[in-house]
Structure 1
Amino acid sequence: MITTGIPGLDGVLKGGFPVSNIYVLKGVPGSGKTTAALQFLRAGVEQGERCLYVSLSQSRSELEQIAASHDWSLEGITIEELSASDDAATAVDQSIFQTADLRLDETRQAIIEAVKRHRPRRIVYDSLLEIRVLTGDEARFRRELIGLKSVLASQGITGLLIDTDTAGGRTRDDEIEAIAHGVIRLDKTLPDYGVARRRIEVSKMRGTAVADGYHDMVIREREGVVVFPRIVPRVVPEQTKSLDLIKSGVENLDNLLGGGQEAGTTTLVIGQAGTGKSTMASLYATAALERGEHVALFLFEERVETFFRRSEGLGMKLRSFHEGGQLLIKDFNPGEVTAGQFGQIVQEEVGKGHTRVVVIDSFTGYLSALPNRDQAVQDIQSLLKFLARSGVLTMLIVAQHGLIGENVSIDVDVSFLGDTVLLLRVDEEGDQLKRSITVVKKRHGPHAMSVHKLTIDGSGVSVSPSPVDTVSN
């Protein structure tokens, strides 16, 4: 195996490319093909390999501009500029051979000579679109591809061939699918509003188990193409050791939950605006931090400074934990992050092995930040399974629509995501509003079924005891 130069793609491929084969990188213009190809060659240079970029579609200066945009150097990469429509070929005075035949022969011979001269271990061939134009029909294109494959295989070269999907739709893949060892597709879509969305798919890879389906990707300055492999929870070893119950620091609240919450479970905190959902999550975060545990908090609606000030107003002093690295806080702007990016950020933090509590505030904001809501629900479900297998308590804030006195609802059914569901409500009582809390679901262990008064003020959070608690399993 050799690295592709893109760590996330190596993860999708379970290690990288098998050596001495040809691979096709396909995509529409602007999807990141050239950038990914340069990363492939730069990785080879880092391994001390000779690397060759054969370009029929881009000039050296254009490649240098792409590299400069990422502060990359092309040192160690040999660039051979060829022209599939060279004027010298068209100037030949002949009446038997078609001009395209002569161009194709000259192009083929130039590539062979470049390979013999430079003896590369990696080669990028940019692009197959020009060869398609010259061959004119599928049979001839197939023969050219087989010939190129034979040349590279005889020299033990790993080749990455760039192919461009035209504006009218994808090019025919029959020839490529049959000949190439692997095919990778880059996809780019433009939403009605916001930045372009990019995805990558390994549509074929012989003899290698890969992570099927689309995976989110972005193009970042200085990093190039970055791939976020989709979460596959089953590959995470399940946390089997017994862990103490995770407590909130409020005795009556812990009593409602049978003494506390179990590690490796998900708690949905559901309620209207102003019912105390975020405060409830902050309560568990504060208690965990004071016990010396690590907490990760991901904000999709509230700013970090707003979060600190709200918490401090309730007596929760969290800045020092954040400054000391025990509390991780990240906030996201709408449309800034993909599901894959978010999943990787969470995995990396939990993978450090210290995080005991994760708060996502809120799931409603998370959905709003992503273009495909149904897919977002599937992605968050995979992430929650990963967190459960890692022995983490996840607090997922879910907002209800509607105001006091109105019927309230959630626009996406998420009840199946939670092992525990805390329902927070606000009701009118005379000339005041009264908050209440109810444990409506708990899969693990006992819990109270009664409704309790919830008080949130400058002294903190408190839950009233119930005269008679009906306990259920």
Structure 2
Amino acid sequence: MNPVRVSTGIAGLDKMLNGGLIGGRVYLVKGSPGTGKTTLAMHFAMEGVKNGEDVLYITLEEPAENIREDFGRMGFDVRNPSFVLLDATPTVEKYVLVEDFFETYAKSLEKLTSAIVERFREIRYSRIIVDPITMLKVAANTEMDYRKSFLTFVKSMMKLKATVLITSELEKTDIEEYLVNGVIELKRMEVNGRLMRTVRITKFRGSGFDPFVRTFEITDRGMVINTDEEVGGLE
């Protein structure tokens, strides 16, 4: 029996994934700042909204209003009631919030996991985005504490049967890459004075995938991947 595929909302990426992500699993999108991680995550979220799904997006770095303004300008349906965007950044004006999302979601990976599971008692989100998980790793007391917490996070998300996308700005993401079901790596570089962005899939359990590095652009309508152009020599 073929697994249920979940579209990322990016045609070229779905093609690289042989039809999309496998539903109900946890995936990592990694890349340095400015490589397009949030754009990819927003495509994934909006594809769910377009399908009538409930989507939970937790932002731990970029203020929610900035996300709404930037992606609303690009035509994304960021005001749709099916799209729940929680601002757990440390810069948010907390005194205007009914709930302190930073304290609830961003203090630790354990708190994040518990808060998401608790939300599922009210709404069964089909897609969850955590963008980025980097600060929770930095905040952990020890590497071993983080490893245990991340394992619990992955197991908890799998039980919820949601398709989960987490982003990371760290190049070294050993425990995350080991435990998640798939890894999408974004990079950018300068070639002959021109900025080039690339995407490659380094892991995708349960499916074949496009092994080549592909170039992509971020346009005024989002991410567009050139699946006809291969780029070699990248490590």
Return the TM-score normalized by structure 1: 0.43
Cα displacement (A) at 1:78: 0.5
- 1:264-303 to structure 2, matched below 5 A, reads none
- CA deviations 1:348-378 (Å, max 9, x no partner) are xxxxxxxxxxxxxxxxxxxxxxxx8xx6xxx
**1:52 counterpart residue number:** 56
Deviation at 1:18, TM superposition (A): 0.5
1:25–1:162 contact (8 Å) kept in structure 2:
yes
User: Is 2:117 aligned against 1:112?
Assistant: yes
Q: Where in structure 1 are there 5+ consecutive unaligned residues?
A: 89-101, 231-338, 341-371, 376-473
Cα separation, 1, equivalents of 2:213 and 2:149: 30
Partner in structure 2 of residue 62 of structure 1: 66
> What corresponds to 1:2 in structure 2?
6
Report the alpha carbon displacement of residue 86 of structure 1 after superposing the two structures with TM: 9.5
Higher relative contact order (CA 8 A, sep 6+): 2
CA distance in structure 2 between the aligned counterparts of 1:139 and 1:117, rounded to whole angstroms: 32
User: What does 1:239-250 align with in structure 2 at a 5 Å threshold?
Assistant: none
Per-residue deviation, residues 371-421 of structure 1 (Å, max 9, x unmatched) = x8xx6xxxxxxxxxxxxxxxxxxxxxxxxxxxxxxxxxxxxxxxxxxxxxx
RMSD: 2.3
- 2:66, 2:92 → 1: CA distance? 19
Q: Any idea what the Cα deviations from partners look like across 1:332-359, whole Å, max 9, x if unmatched?
A: xxxxxxx46xxxxxxxxxxxxxxxxxxx
How do 1:177-188 residues align onto structure 2 when only pairs under 5 Å count? 177-188=177-188
Q: Which residue of 2 aligns with 1:203?
A: 202
Matching of residues 37-436 of structure 1 within 5 Å: 37-74=41-78, 75=80, 76-83=82-89, 103-104=107-108, 105-165=110-170, 170=171, 172-194=172-194, 196-222=195-221, 224-230=222-228, 339=229
SS at 1:210 equivalent: coil
Whether the 8 Å contact between 2:63 and 2:89 is mirrored in structure 1 is no
Of stretches 133-142 and 212-221 in structure 1, the one that deviates more from structure 2 is 133-142
Matched residues in 2 for 1:193 and 1:127: separation?
Answer: 29
- With over 3 angstroms needed to count, the CA separation of the structure-2 counterparts of 1:84 and 1:208, relative to structure 1, is farther
Q: TM-score, normalised by structure 2?
A: 0.83
1:8–1:227 contact (8 Å) kept in structure 2:
yes
Deviation at 1:180, TM superposition (A): 0.2
CA distance in 2, matches of 1:185, 1:204: 10
- Quote the offset at 1:133 in angstroms: 1.0
Q: CA deviation at 1:121?
A: 0.3
CA distance in 2, matches of 1:63, 1:129: 18
1-structure distance, mates of 2:50, 2:92: 34
Q: CA deviation at 1:192?
A: 4.8
Q: Which runs of 5+ in 2 are unaligned?
A: 95-105
Give the residue type in structure 1 aligned to 2:218: I
Q: Structure 1 pair 225/184, CA: closer, same or farther in 2 (3 Å)?
A: same
User: What's 1:30 paired with?
Assistant: 34
**CA deviation vs aligned residue, 1:255-276 (integer Å, no higher than 9, x gap):** xxxxxxxxxxxxxxxxxxxxxx
State the shift of 1:137 in Å: 2.9
Identity %: 25
| Residues 1:86 and 1:139: Cα distance change in structure 2 (over 3 Å) | farther
Q: Which has the larger radius of gyration?
A: 1
- SS of residue in 2 equivalent to 1:149: helix
